[in-house]
Structure 1
Amino acid sequence: MRKFEEVTTHTEEIFKGKIIDLNVDTVTLPDGNTSKRELIKHPGAVAVIAVKEDGKIIFVEQYRKALGKSTLEIPAGKLEKGEEPLITARRELEEETGYTSDNLELINSFYTSPGFADELVHIYFTDDLRKLEENVEGDEDEFVELAELDIEEAVQLEKEQRIHDAKTSYALLYLKLRGIK
C-alpha cells in the first residue's frame, strides 16, 4: 500500500442520478483503522474560453439552483458517456453560444473538488470562432443568455461575484497571464 492510500472494503450506492452518483465507501486507512467516505461520481466536463476577433470573451448567464442565483460563466457542459472531451467542447460551444471552432486548444484539466468528487474539467481555448448559420438545439431544461465582455468588465463582475465559479475564474486568470486585453 502506498503511504497515503486508502483501500476500499465496501461501497454502498446511495443515489444514482442523471448527472451524478453518490456512494459511501468504507475504507481502510494507512494506519489500519477504518473510515467512511461520501463520494460523488461524475462523468467529467469541459469548458471553453471563447474569445472573439474583437477581443470580447463569450459568457453565458444561467440560473444555478445550488447557488440560488444566476451567474456568468464560460460555456461548459458534461461529457456524455464515451464522448471525447474535444467533441464535447465543440458541441457545448455550439449549443450554448451559436458559435463553432475548428481550432480548440486544450489548456489544462483539473479536478473540481477532489475531497469528495471525481469530476475532471477539461478547459479549451479558442480565438478562431465562426457564427453558425442555424441555431443548434441545446438541452431542453437549460436556459442561457449570451454576454460578451472584455477582460476588465469580466474581472469587475468577478469582484461583484456575478462571475463566481472556479472554471470561469481559472479562465480569467489564464487570459490575464496570456496578455488578453
Structure 2
Amino acid sequence: MSRLEEKTIKTEKIFSGKVISLQIEDVELPNGNTSKREIIKHPGAVAILALTDENKIVMVEQYRKALERTIIEIPAGKLELNEDPKTCAIRELEEETGYSCKELELLISFFTSPGFADEIVHVYLAKGLVKKENAASLDEDEFVHLMEITLEEAERYIREQKIYDAKTAYAVQYLQLQKALK
C-alpha cells in the first residue's frame, strides 16, 4: 500500500443507470482516520479527431442537457462492456459522421475527473476519411449537426465558448502544436 493510498472499508451502491453508476465508499485515510468518497463509475469512452484530406476537422454540434446548451465537439461515444477502444472509435466515427478511415492512431488516454469519477477517454486521430454510402446510424436518442471546420474556426469557437469540453480542446491544441512544429 502506497503511503497516500486510501483503503476501501465499505462500498454502498446508490444508483446504477444506462451510462453511469454512483457508489459511496467508506475509506481509511493514510493517517488512520476515515472518510467517505462519492464515486461515479463509467465504462470509458473514445473521441475521434477526424481530419479530411483538406485538413478540416470533422465536428458535431449537439445539445448537452447537463449544460442546457449546444456545444461543438469531436465525435465521441461510450465504450460498450469489454469493447476494445479502437473498435469503438471506428463505430462511433461511422455512426456520428458517416465516415470510415484508412488510418486510426491513438493519441492519448486521460481521466476526465479523477476526483470523483473513473471515466477514461481514449482520443484517436483518424485520417484517410471515406464517406460510407450505408453508414451506421446514430443512436435513437442522439441528434447531431455534422460540421467540417478549419483549425482557425476551431480556435475561434474555443474563444466563443462554442467548443467547451476537454476532449475537443485537447484535439484543437494537438493540431496547434503539430502546426507549430512544422
Counterpart of 1:41 in structure 2 is: 41
Q: Percentage identity across aligned positions?
A: 57
Partner AA of 2:12 in structure 1 = E
Deviation at 1:155, TM superposition (A): 0.5
Q: Do residues 106 (structure 1) and 106 (structure 2) align?
A: yes
Deviation at 1:173, TM superposition (A): 0.5
Deviations 1:15-34 (A, max 9, x none): 00000000000000000000
Gaps of 5+ in 1: none
Inter-partner Cα distance in structure 1 for 2:117 and 2:102: 31
Q: Do residues 15 (structure 1) and 11 (structure 2) align?
A: no
Partner AA of 1:7 in structure 2 = K
Inter-partner Cα distance in structure 2 for 1:152 and 1:43: 33
Partner AA of 1:34 in structure 2 = T
SS in 2 for 1:89: helix
Q: Which runs of 4+ in 1 moved over 3 A?
A: none
Deviations 1:58-88 (A, max 9, x none): 0001000000000000000000001100000
Cα RMSD (Å): 1.2
Deviations 1:65-118 (A, max 9, x none): 000000000000000001100000000000000000131100010000000000
Inter-partner Cα distance in structure 2 for 1:89 and 1:149: 20
Counterpart of 2:170 in structure 1 is: 170
Gaps of 5+ in 2: none
Deviations 1:15-58 (A, max 9, x none): 00000000000000000000000000000000000010011100
Counterpart of 1:138 in structure 2 is: 138
SS in 2 for 1:104: strand
Inter-partner Cα distance in structure 1 for 2:171 and 2:21: 27
Question: Which structure shows the bigger proportion of residues in strand conformation?
Answer: 2
Inter-partner Cα distance in structure 2 for 1:12 and 1:126: 40
Partner AA of 2:149 in structure 1 = L
1:72-83 superposed matches below 5 A: 72-83=72-83
> What TM-score, normalized by structure 1, do the two folds share?
0.98
Partner AA of 2:68 in structure 1 = G
> What TM-score, normalized by structure 2, do the two folds share?
0.97
Partner AA of 2:38 in structure 1 = E
Alignment length (residue pairs):
181
